[in-house]
Structure 1
Amino acid sequence: MNTETIVPYNTQFLTARRQVTDAMANDLVNRTFADVVKKLVLRDYLTKLTSNAQLEQLPDLYRNEPLFANARQLPAWANSKQLQQGAAFFARHASLIMNMLGLLSLPYTYAGADGVRVLYLSERMRNDTAKRLQETGDFVWEVMAPNAFEPGGKGFASILKVRLIHAAARYYTLQSGKWDSMAWGQPVNQEDMAGTNLSFSLVVIRGLRKLDVAVTYADQQAFMHLWNVIGSLSGIERNLLPDDGKQAIELEQAISKHQFRPSEEGQALTRALMNYFTSLKLPVPFGNTDTIQLMRFLLGNEVADMLNLPAGEAPKVVINLLKLSGTLQEFKYMPSVSQAYQQQYAGFKKQQL
């Protein structure tokens, strides 16, 4: 176990992490946004950035920037076998994991009362929920691909873009004059980034197990290691990337105790998410209200009440169908990780259409 991550996840520690963000990304964005030409060059480059190979083709203005140099390097502690196993786990269960994205991971983060203010102020999640969900979904598919960190993959490039989006969100949020850093911490701070990372790793595993998917300890470790690498490349400090399930649970519980409470902002974003789900034409036997009750089932009543989700229970037939699909996927023949990933991705895109 890496001794760097053995820290007391107490209130004092987490409060201090709320005043720390991502100095390297912030520095680049602050300098770039002060120069109109540099800002246009960066925006143009990021718009066209779709693969890791393009990180070798930087504009002259950014060739010596540490952020770009580090963007295509895995952390020294990254384990290639665990990365491969984590990608294989995703490829097998991608359909259910992607359902966890909207039904569990995103609303879970909305319970963090101070951190959710950034999303609320940006208005994008409230006013264009479908587009925001699509962008998040695309990010997950890109970083979970079997070749995500190879030259032909998209993982490094996708993570860099999100890291810079976070830095830009900090810049504009602080410029807005609507942010109280002393009361809420810095926008998109280390605690909030760590909580979000856990929502895509530990919390997803928890959701899968709630649907009776038999997740082995080895698969759990590999999937969480993959998300730890993604978190590190996103600018999260090493001591907020737990080495094992026990540490992850301790950190998740500490963050929820420190940050989770009812808030107008969290409930508004949850309403936007519910409105999006209820606007969809779902296949039988799913109904629009069933989707909302599935959110409550996965989140648990305590968090669901904080978000003001309607009371009720998801029909057992719906839950049992999801459990059955997860069980069948465990026994389905998987010719190769790459083929399984492509099959799942094709199904996901068809579902979107």
Structure 2
Amino acid sequence: MTANHTPHATRERVIDMETVGRRRTMKADRIAPLLTAGDPLADAVIAEFDLYGPEARRALDAGLRKGLARLDERPPEAVAALLKQVETTPDWVDPLMLHRGDVVSLSVPPLWFGLCSITSALVHACASPAGARQLIRTDRPTPTISRRLVETGVWARQTVRPGGLLRGGPGYVATVEVRLRHARLRAASLTDWNMGAPGLPIGQLDMARTWLGFTLIAFEALAAVGIDITGEEEHHLYRYWSYVAHLLGLDESLYKDVADHADARRLKDLLDAVTAAPDDGPRAATAALVGAQAHTTAHAPGAILPEEQLRDLLHGVLRRSLGNLAADRLGIPGVPAATDLMPLISTVNRQARYWQTFSPASAQAARRQAAEEPGPGPGPEPIAVVLPLGIALQRGTSVHRSATPTA
């Protein structure tokens, strides 16, 4: 990490300290250090992997699945420290919440979870030039983008499933693996990163963008297709994903006060204030993400829309969820009114969700039907269609519609 660094022609990040200083949620003296903050525990594990080789890797794998106390031999120091941190469950975590899983994300039908949640989350992450640079590292970005879509979808479903984040569960293990992948990317990037420019690659602020992608950004995209959630569901969502942030190694100050979409928007505004405007990298990454998702969905079993229409649909979702100004900066084209399917889709989804949550009986029937349908992926994975909270969402219950930003 002390090797010489090749300067970049342009700065990877910019920071408006005056704007940040006016934020009530986090002052400039707090956000500035996070520009160059990584994840010391995970970074140290990567160093031990390089030093000890497969022995350290096997120790971590065993520790994640069995627990630190059940290992036959004491693992290397950094591996032990990371295991101790992820096994220390914060006192605000409700064990029943982990057994239920992310009940809000599980309420989203698999098709829309993939099209809206996964795509918009990755587009938001790569809207930062620093993030896009990590996503497109070759002259042939399409295979990398397609693989990232699949990997992200698998991780997200493992993370939200009931019991997925319990110690040793698939989401628990996969989330720590994502954390270590970030650390590996940081280590690789530092060999040619301009350390004089603010912004560590895949550091705390990039991880915060990723976290917002699967909370605020994903559900603004879902709202664009008529899948709204209530204020109570927002609180469930952020409580669950706060624990995901803990496992990802995110600085607690970035997420501890985020309890709903309004709080998340304030954090997003703060991150946007310290992030450079999109350049050719984010625009290329966005186009590749949309193209790969449209291609994959159009060729999936049971597909009902051709690739071109799916691409238009994704453009419409992203423009409504990100706002016209941000969409223009990312090169996301508008959709002609004559071919825009969004009004019809949002109406159908909103009506379907209303009847599915009309009464406890209808909600139970919808969950039972969804459980019999395999989700997308390598094997059957039932995904509920409505919120499995045991809460009667009676007719006339007010639904908080996530605001869609405009230019």
Q: Of the candidates 22, 30, 47, which is equivalent to residue 30 of structure 1?
A: 47
**1:77 is the counterpart of 2:97:** no
How many angstroms does 1:170 deviate by? Answer: 0.8
Contact 1:52 1:150 in 2 (8 A): no
Q: Of the candidates 273, 277, 294, which is equivalent to residue 261 of structure 1?
A: 277
**TM-score, reference length from structure 2:** 0.72
**1:232 is the counterpart of 2:249:** no
**1:301 is the counterpart of 2:324:** yes
Q: Which residue of 2 aligns with 1:3?
A: none
Instruction: Give the letter for the 1:62 counterpart.
Output: P
How many angstroms does 1:116 deviate by? Answer: 2.9
Unaligned runs of 5+ in 1: 1-5
| Residues 167-217 of structure 1 deviation map (CA, whole Å, 9 limit, x = unaligned) | 111111113x2x113314111111111121011101222222233333111
Contact 1:86 1:219 in 2 (8 A): no
Return the alpha-carbon distance in structure 1 between the equivalents of residues 324 and 124 of structure 2.
12
How many angstroms does 1:151 deviate by? Answer: 5.1
Contact 2:141 2:288 in 1 (8 A): yes
How many angstroms does 1:80 deviate by? Answer: 3.8
Return the alpha-carbon distance in structure 2 between the equivalents of residues 157 and 88 of structure 1.
20
Higher helix share: 1
Q: Of the candidates 189, 192, 202, which is equivalent to residue 188 of structure 1?
A: 202
Contact 1:211 1:322 in 2 (8 A): yes
- Radius of gyration: which is bigger? 2
Return the alpha-carbon distance in structure 2 between the equivalents of residues 186 and 257 of structure 1.
16
- RMSD across aligned C-alpha pairs, in angstroms? 3.4
Matches within 5 A, 1:1-353: 8-10=25-27, 13-33=30-50, 35=51, 38-43=52-57, 53-55=65-67, 58=71, 60=73, 62=75, 65-80=80-95, 83=98, 87-95=102-110, 96-121=112-137, 126-150=142-166, 153-175=169-191, 177=192, 179-241=193-255, 242-245=257-260, 246-259=262-275, 261-280=277-296, 281=298, 283-285=303-305, 287-294=309-316, 295-313=318-336, 315-325=339-349, 327-332=351-356, 333-335=362-364, 342-343=371-372, 346-349=374-377
Unaligned runs of 5+ in 2: 1-22, 357-361, 381-407
Return the alpha-carbon distance in structure 2 between the equivalents of residues 338 and 74 of structure 1.
30
Contact 2:215 2:237 in 1 (8 A): yes
Return the alpha-carbon distance in structure 2 between the equivalents of residues 319 and 212 of structure 1.
9
- SS of residue matched to 2:89: coil
| Residues 204-237 of structure 1 deviation map (CA, whole Å, 9 limit, x = unaligned) | 2222223333311110011111111101111001
**TM-score, reference length from structure 1:** 0.82
118-127 vs 184-193, which deviates more?
A: 118-127
Q: CA 1:251 to 1:191, structure 2 compared with 1: closer, same or farther past 3 Å?
A: same
Count the aligned residue pairs: 339
Return the alpha-carbon distance in structure 1 between the equivalents of residues 342 and 226 of structure 2.
14
Instruction: Give the letter for the 1:150 counterpart.
Output: L
How many angstroms does 1:340 deviate by? Answer: 7.4
Instruction: Give the letter for the 1:324 counterpart.
Output: V
How many angstroms does 1:264 deviate by? Answer: 1.9
| Residues 132-191 of structure 1 deviation map (CA, whole Å, 9 limit, x = unaligned) | 11110111011101111335731221111111111111111113x2x1133141111111
Q: CA 1:351 to 1:259, structure 2 compared with 1: closer, same or farther past 3 Å?
A: farther
Identity of aligned residues (%): 20
Kindly indicate whether structure 1 or structure 2 has the higher relative contact order, using CA contacts under 8 Å at least 6 residues apart. Answer: 1
